[in-house]
């Protein structure tokens, strides 16, 4: 594991640069899980993620000569912004290689910090391979996002802040992509409060570190696919795996539906915008992916908040449908005066709010004299939706429902 002195040195380097993010109890999540759940809100960090800590510590540890040549990194976004922000503080050039599918928000945020961005590869690992080659050709110092002791030590500063505020935690739940955050946190906790159980969480669509942990050897994935793009790492770093095997108690996984539900819960109930990778710890707690006793003190790190707004919009839309707070209907009417009003009167009578409506009388699937009305409705739950269906059926309307749960 990373020595305690290295982590405390990193903390002393970064403490005047990073924000000491809030670490507070989440009452609604605690009630839902019968536990005492605390959230470390690194989504509120300066660059929207904890990655600034490790990037700054690494660049601060370089010699003046190394810094002046410039630095380069490969990143899906959060490490990119951490490196770019740190390079800007030191006044040195930074080049960032990002996968071609990186959300536009993360690309724009990185370039706004003065870094040169090159899009290359289908995923992080292809971007990484290109970045290491580019670093050699241009004599740049490569800042690894997770497999570097100075980077890991910087990430460990999160644990120092957490344990300074709450020492008697039972569990610490940490997202895993490449493993830098959990390696740093785990190294510190094991040497200061070894009785705390450390649980790592991966996305089900990027299972390499979970598989490697349980097999106790590096097992790369052939491909990755998850909404948690910040932790969508295909290949396992042997260095990080070695540390994780030493300091972590278990590694579990959550699927995209569970991640999406956690993002929506944090947005609606905690008023926090959290990206997929940052929400996996909450997802693991909500869906009880590991065993914990009633009233256990559980902390998790909301590691980032840089979610693409289009992805967030999709999660909200699907979440409302799953919660029976929205429904979509296509109703076939006889195309005559007053027919639409009859339908809307029924919906008004049952208290359904129409948020979108479309009238189609030209579709080739329609009989002559018919029209399709497509409606999006705000509803008040499962029983309310059943009432709407019943009233439409009683009134002899022909209708189909989209995405019924």
Q: How far apart are CA 64 and CA 58, in angstroms?
A: 13
pLDDT tens sequence across 353-383: 999 999 998 888 888 899 999 999 999 999 9
Burial, 64: exposed, middle or buried (Cβ in 10 Å; 0-12, 13-18, 19+)?
Answer: exposed
Total of domains in the chain: 3
Q: Whole-model pTM?
A: 0.89
**Residue 93 and residue 37 share a domain:** no
Q: Which two tokens stand for residue 293?
A: 């006793």
**Residue 94 and residue 157 share a domain:** no
Q: What is the CATH number of the domain that holds 335?
A: 3.30.70.260
pLDDT at 404: 57
Instruction: Give the pLDDT mean for 284-312.
Output: 95
Q: How far apart are CA 232 and CA 204, in angstroms?
A: 10
**Residue 295 and residue 342 share a domain:** no
- Residues 6 or more apart from 165 whose CB is under 8 A from it? 23
> Domain end: 261, 287, 318, which one?
318
Instruction: Give the pLDDT mean for 149-177.
Output: 97
- Residues 6 or more apart from 12 whose CB is under 8 A from it? none
Lowest-confidence pick of 119-133, 166-180, 380-394 = 119-133
Is the pLDDT assigned to residue 110 strictly greater than 60? yes
Residue percentage of the chain with pLDDT more than 70: 99
Q: Of 105, 88, 98, 86, whose CA–CA distance to 134 is shortest? A: 98
Instruction: Give the pLDDT mean for 217-225.
Output: 93
Residue percentage of the chain with pLDDT more than 90: 85
**Residue 104 and residue 58 share a domain:** yes
> Domain end: 109, 132, 148, which one?
148
Q: How far apart are CA 302 and CA 320, in angstroms?
A: 23
Instruction: Give the pLDDT mean for 94-104.
Output: 88
pLDDT tens sequence across 233-259: 888 999 999 999 999 999 999 999 999
**Residue 203 and residue 227 share a domain:** yes
Range of the structural domain that residue 77 is part of: 51-148
**Residue 29 and residue 95 share a domain:** no
**Residue 40 and residue 27 share a domain:** yes
Lowest-confidence pick of 19-28, 123-132, 139-148, 213-222 = 123-132
| Dihedral angle, C-alpha 384, 390, 392, 393, nearest 10 ° | 160
Q: Confirm if 256 and 263 have CB atoms less than 8 A apart.
A: no
- Three-state SS string across 221-257, please? CCCCCCCCHHHCCCCCCHHHHHHHHHHCCEEEEECHH
pLDDT at 405: 47
Instruction: Return the DSSP state at 198.
Output: E
**Residue 9 and residue 112 share a domain:** no
Q: What is the CATH number of the domain that holds 128?
A: 3.40.50.1100
**Residue 100 and residue 18 share a domain:** no
Is the pLDDT assigned to residue 222 strictly greater than 70? yes
**Residue 331 and residue 241 share a domain:** no
Give the helix, strand, coil percentages of the chain, each rounded to 5. Answer: 45, 20, 35
**Residue 209 and residue 189 share a domain:** yes
**Residue 355 and residue 314 share a domain:** no
- Mean pLDDT across the chain, nearest whole number? 94
Q: How far apart are CA 261 and CA 266, in angstroms?
A: 9
> Domain end: 117, 133, 148, which one?
148
Instruction: Give the pLDDT mean for 162-177.
Output: 97
Q: Confirm if 200 and 250 have CB atoms less than 8 A apart.
A: yes
pLDDT at 403: 62
- Residues 6 or more apart from 5 whose CB is under 8 A from it? none
């Amino acid at each position: 594991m990373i020595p305690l002195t290295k982590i405390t040195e990193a903390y002393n380097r970064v403490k005047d640069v990073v924000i000491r993010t809030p670490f507070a109890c989440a009452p609604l999540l605690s009630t839902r899980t019968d536990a005492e759940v605390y959230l470390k809100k690194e989504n509120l960090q300066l660059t929207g993620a904890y990655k600034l800590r490790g990037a700054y510590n690494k660049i601060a540890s370089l010699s003046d000569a190394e810094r002046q040549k410039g630095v380069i990194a490969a990143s899906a976004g959060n490490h990119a912004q951490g490196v770019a922000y740190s390079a800007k503080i030191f006044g040195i050039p930074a080049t960032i290689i990002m996968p071609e599918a990186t959300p536009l928000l993360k690309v724009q945020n990185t370039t706004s910090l003065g870094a040169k961005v090159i899009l290359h590869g289908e995923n992080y690992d292809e971007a990484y391979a290109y970045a290491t080659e580019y670093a050699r050709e241009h004599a740049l110092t490569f800042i690894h996002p997770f497999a570097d002791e100075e980077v890991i030590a910087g990430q460990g500063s999160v644990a120092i802040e957490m344990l300074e505020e709450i020492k008697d935690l039972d569990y610490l739940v940490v997202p895993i992509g490449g493993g830098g955050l959990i390696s740093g946190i785990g190294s510190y906790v094991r040497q200061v409060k070894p009785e705390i159980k450390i649980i790592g969480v991966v996305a089900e669509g990027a299972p390499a570190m979970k598989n490697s942990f349980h097999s106790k050897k590096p097992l790369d994935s052939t491909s990755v696919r998850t909404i948690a793009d910040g932790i969508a790492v295909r290949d396992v770093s042997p260095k990080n795996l070695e540390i994780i095997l030493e300091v972590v108690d278990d590694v579990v996984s959550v699927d995209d539906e569970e991640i999406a539900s956690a993002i929506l819960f944090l947005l609606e109930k905690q008023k926090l915008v959290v990206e997929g990778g940052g929400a996996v710890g909450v997802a693991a707690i909500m869906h009880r992916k590991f065993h914990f006793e009633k009233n256990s003190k559980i902390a998790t790190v909301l590691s980032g908040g840089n979610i693409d707004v289009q992805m967030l919009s999709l999660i909200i839309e699907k979440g409302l449908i799953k919660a029976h707070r929205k429904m979509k209907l296509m109703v076939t009417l006889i195309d005559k005066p007053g027919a639409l009003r009859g339908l809307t009167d029924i919906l008004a009578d049952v208290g359904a709010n129409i948020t979108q409506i479309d009238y189609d009388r030209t579709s080739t699937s329609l009989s002559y004299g018919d029209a399709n009305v497509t409606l999006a409705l705000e509803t008040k739950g499962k029983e309310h939706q059943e009432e709407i269906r019943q009233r439409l059926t009683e009134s002899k309307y022909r209708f189909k429902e989209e995405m019924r749960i």
